[in-house]
Structure 1
Amino acid sequence: MLGVTQDTEQGPRTQAQRTAATRAKLLDAAITLLVEVGYARTSTQEIARRAGVSRGAQLHHFPTKESLVVAAVEHLVEKRLAEILGARPDPDQGIETLVDAFTGPLFYAALELWVAARTDPGLHEAMIPLERKVGDALRLGSAEIMGERMSVDSIDLSIELARGLAVSALFRTPESDSELRNRLLPAWKGLVAK
């Protein structure tokens, strides 16, 4: 059969399934490298090597480094939002859930791209639609979690506060970061509550 191979024990995989699997390997490898070595030291050759795919396959799916790393962060944003909403977080813990969204590989990969985009015009242009999508996903997720507890402006303010708290946490110990969050969250909640 054309477009179908016997790649797994579960049966034949279609071309679409093979394409999706190759893309997923590339996106996962890109995130791993962004977190491990940063944007400047991430190369498409190393992404392809870590993904276990040929350079030609990588170029077929993502012709530029910018398109690959932006797609990787976008993929992770969608996955993370689905995980958060799928967990049905407690609306009373909505701010904490938002703060937690700015941790881990997604945050560090995005941070790498934000910093690099400041001086890289090609990456900056590629990041604009992604940042809009991330902002929309954060607003949607926050509204879903918090319902009527917060206005749109309060959600936007909370997103900006959560992002700033996460950036400044890079220079604190885990203990001092936890202490600061515990001190600030009650005031933050009082500020943004309806």
Structure 2
Amino acid sequence: MTQSTDAPERRTQAERTAGTQAKLLDAAIECLVEIGFAKTSTQEIARRAGVSRGAQLHHFPTKESLVIAAVEHLVDRRLSEILATDPDPERGVEVLSEAFSGPLFHAALELWVAARTDPALYEAMVPLERRVSEAIMGGATAIMGSRMSTESIELSIELARGLAVSALFRTAEADAALRSRLLPTWEAMVSQ
């Protein structure tokens, strides 16, 4: 009697752990973006991830550890996406501006605001923000370093953050119109 080769492969413990953590991280980002930090609970994250509360607590014992790991996971993924594109120095400011948009930015913004008044979250966010800032600076330098000074890149990062925050109060059409007007001027001002 021969064994069937159609049987599904059994996943290793490491693969199951990684799968569970990925579900929790994705659900945490979803919660931050959809309902905000204040309404995000570990119970809601576990429910959305389709995992037990015990499994959630095993991997991430606190809400802070879970949401920070989720943002860190997205930062790594987003930075890889940005750096994987063909670096076009002519689009440097535009690429940088786009980096501060979408679910990652909204999730990070939720944490920044909450960390202002939550000492534990603030302490947990400091190393993440340091790492994020270094990664953004490294990515921006890789794309624009030949055309911009370090100070111009740093200024561009701060401008991109500010533009992204103010975009929360504009329609998509108004934001696109503003960006099409401002980005060429910004690029001309910071290019060497």
Q: Which runs of 5+ in 2 are unaligned?
A: 1-6
Q: CA deviation at 1:35?
A: 0.4
> Which residues of 2 match residues 39-118 of structure 1 at below 5 A?
39-118=37-116
Q: CA deviation at 1:82?
A: 0.6
Contact 1:89 1:97 in 2 (8 A): no
Moved over 2 A (4+): none
What's the counterpart of residue 178 of structure 2?
180
- Give CA-to-partner distance per residue, 1:73-116, whole Å, 9 cap, x none: 00000001111111224221011001001111001100110111
Structure ranking higher in strand proportion? 1
Letter in 2 for 1:29: A
What's the counterpart of residue 28 of structure 2?
30
Paired with 1:173 and 1:55, the residues of 2 have a C-alpha distance of 38
- Give CA-to-partner distance per residue, 1:53-72, whole Å, 9 cap, x none: 11111111111100100000
Q: TM-score, normalised by structure 1?
A: 0.92
- Give CA-to-partner distance per residue, 1:2-51, whole Å, 9 cap, x none: xxxxxxx6512111111111110000000000000000000001101111
Paired with 2:21 and 2:149, the residues of 1 have a C-alpha distance of 38
Q: TM-score, normalised by structure 2?
A: 0.93
How much identity, in percent, do the aligned residues show? 71
What's the counterpart of residue 132 of structure 1?
130
What's the counterpart of residue 150 of structure 1?
148
Please tell me the root mean square deviation across aligned C-alpha atoms, in Å.
1.1
Letter in 1 for 2:160: A
